[in-house]
Structure 1
């Protein structure tokens, strides 16, 4: 008898525990992308290293994550759900333990890399499993849970980090995670079943090499662009190498009989459109989570904890609403939800272009929370619509592709928005004989306004693109046609 389970023969309790374990693992991975954001100065001081060296804590994590995500589709096709998740969460736990006990910086950095090697697998695996075990009619509700992971995780990271650093050492950022990893592994070992179809594709070493070099170089180039300058030789060589090698990787996948990552998913028009909208929305999401704490700390002189607390109400809003908007998607489809959400995001992002030295904590908190309300209507409904366009055999590839492009868009978007801050700051021309310190802060205000103007433009573009999504009735007909055979079996 096959160990592979299907959506209709799993008991409800077991299905719930499976999803809980997968969600917890993915949540810990996502939260670790921003958990160290406020801790970098503390770590820099503790190990007596430069700002550039400590920044590798973030850069190395994102690069490794970006390398692993494209490979995840191949791994999901080749290895069992249970074995792959236990390996991924195990790697994450080992990396966390290494970082927690590190006495020299290279060991700490190694811990982050090992952490990221597990993280890059968990979110695509979670999406693929949900697509496999949840019927099409209830998929929005299930994918709404992923919205909590994608949006709530990065937002809560700085707040949690700030609180821990107020009371404990930087090691607490890793030590507090270890018991959660242990519990998640126990639950997964007891209740996780193999629900994906194993196709046992052959390992194509060249594809793995091209993917690692291509995505790694590309993400590295963009991660240092805002610091080193877009015309820096390192940036130009890294991004140029990345683009060329990714092109070779795509060509390789198109000629392989069984590709490591299936690029033919883009033959589905709505999948492609929805992924572009999701990428644009994610840039807007990550941009605000990056820029607002910087504005509060560098310009308004708030503490890291205070800037993290400003993000907390918005994180709570999207955490509560994501499952609700998922259920609304099941009833009404993605188009109208996306249009409502993106209109709110566009307006509230534009309100951040009216910053000043008198901008209050309350103003930032309230506008950010309303903005996250809008994002909850746009993010996961659109992504669910994208994945629903694919036949079941390409679920793993669609999930991996979506997460890869999200990682790329987040890196590119952050680099562009931080660059706009620098450009806007340099463009400022003071019209008063103010003190150099005041002029410097006024210049930075202009810089952040420029960045939010760019973010507003992206949100508006996403709104326009959402107009071309299928209306609810047509979307439902297409999904039923694609999944007709699968749905009838349920």
Structure 2
């Protein structure tokens, strides 16, 4: 099979002095200018471990609010639509900030970017914990999201810089723990906390960890990348905010129907138009290496296909994370704690499998993981289309664990093969593209599943619980059909040529 050939470096962007080449690195090499002289292996382990732990904590917060919504509605005297903004605003901020991270990671050293990200997240967490009412809590969530948006691209770009391609699968396996397990166990953790404590403890429990990461980074985080001169195109920032923000907001409000502040088609239309303008402007600016988000990343077939399959997989993940708890509580009659505990085994399975998947990728490449993984995900979603009010809870648990196994096989090879197919100068932009696709796909998955579930419930002639079960089946049927596209795409993801050998 043909492998991707590494793309040439962007014109007008010569490699910075001391920047690592996209080939396996020798056991030791000079540290970038301005970095203290330390043992490189020990330094790299410290940097990656600190980034992994910090990213896990910040991404955990993306899904921690779902189970907490009923408690917040009572405590803050708000409606469900208002409460949903605690998640919508988080995703909206992420979608707006992530495209700018490509510029930040090129322009600044590792240490100040990390301190900015964890500083924002820690400040947002403190605001949330001390919030006297809904408005301040919402503001805190926005500040949290600003830090979260920076961390994942920073982690991916740093790993691609420090780790030789022949070992990237193992490290990306750890990253997939962050990306898949953190949002998967968010509902479980919030359910456990809310069963014994006030909602503020969701933030108070995280705050010491965030502050410890911030303090450790301030003391020990070295600069491991070499920044280069880069200009910020302000019109691109504005248009990207309108484009990606409009899409995420529109997708997030589809399920609200008449309760939405504006019809969903308005922000979706604005977002689509602004995104078209954004793409056209980036294509023009990247000729002189001034693009906010360099779209030459899509010149790599492996990156393009891997990103598409990733988007489909994230759609299934976030849609399931939203619909499955609703099914368990509204149809099966479980309480939030039982729901959270039932979803926990799947998250733990993903975490346990991720390092193994990384080692298999390094040895055998992506195909032996992606093809079985997408088939398993598709099979699990098809099995969930058979759920009803009489389905045994252990059968639902088994389906969720099987789904988690499939997703564990998918994420590591997609990240490693997709980003590994890019040249070094496009790693920051590739990481930003992947992060943006994740947010849009997550919002699309939530909107799609909820909308189809609502329509399916309304179309059913059955009473109460049976109608709700019919809506859940319709939502999973839609997800199962989409999963077939991921199965097809999995055959087209190849190991990058730079990783061979």
Alignment TM-score, normalising by the size of structure 1: 0.92
Match of 1:183 among 186, 206, 212: 212
Return closer, same or farther for 1:480/1:180 CA change in 2, 3 Å cut-off.
closer
Q: Does 1:319 align with 2:389?
A: no
Q: Per residue, is there more helix in 1 or in 2?
A: 1
Corresponding residue number in structure 2 for 1:436: none
Point out where structure 1 has 5 or more consecutive residues left out of the alignment. 431-438, 482-486
CA distance in 1, matches of 2:499, 2:328: 48
Match of 1:288 among 320, 327, 330: 320
How far is 1:259 from its partner? Answer: 0.7
Within a 5 Å distance, the mapping from 1:9-158 to structure 2 comes to 9=29, 11-158=40-187
Corresponding residue number in structure 1 for 2:256: 227
Return closer, same or farther for 1:71/1:429 CA change in 2, 3 Å cut-off.
same
Corresponding residue number in structure 2 for 1:454: 478
CA distance in 2, matches of 1:30, 1:296: 24
SS class of match (1:202): coil
Corresponding residue number in structure 1 for 2:283: 254
Higher relative contact order (CA 8 A, sep 6+): 2
How far is 1:229 from its partner? Answer: 6.1
How far is 1:18 from its partner? Answer: 1.1
Return closer, same or farther for 1:120/1:249 CA change in 2, 3 Å cut-off.
same
Within a 5 Å distance, the mapping from 1:138-217 to structure 2 comes to 138-217=167-246
Runs of 4+ residues over 4 Å off in structure 1: 2-7, 229-233
SS class of match (2:293): coil
Cα RMSD after superposing both structures: 1.9
Return closer, same or farther for 1:149/1:480 CA change in 2, 3 Å cut-off.
closer
Are the counterparts in 1 of residues 81 and 256 from structure 2 also a CA contact under 8 Å?
Answer: no
SS class of match (2:167): helix
How far is 1:197 from its partner? Answer: 3.0
Are the counterparts in 2 of residues 96 and 115 from structure 1 also a CA contact under 8 Å?
Answer: yes
Point out where structure 2 has 5 or more consecutive residues left out of the alignment. 1-15, 30-38
Q: Does 1:442 align with 2:474?
A: no
CA distance in 2, matches of 1:330, 1:223: 37
Within a 5 Å distance, the mapping from 1:238-387 to structure 2 comes to 238-256=267-285, 257=288, 258-387=290-419
Are the counterparts in 2 of residues 287 and 413 from structure 1 also a CA contact under 8 Å?
Answer: yes
Are the counterparts in 2 of residues 4 and 195 from structure 1 also a CA contact under 8 Å?
Answer: no
Aligned residue pairs total 468
Alignment TM-score, normalising by the size of structure 2: 0.90
Corresponding residue number in structure 2 for 1:468: 492
Are the counterparts in 2 of residues 338 and 466 from structure 1 also a CA contact under 8 Å?
Answer: yes
How far is 1:344 from its partner? Answer: 1.1
SS class of match (2:281): helix
CA distance in 1, matches of 2:226, 2:335: 50
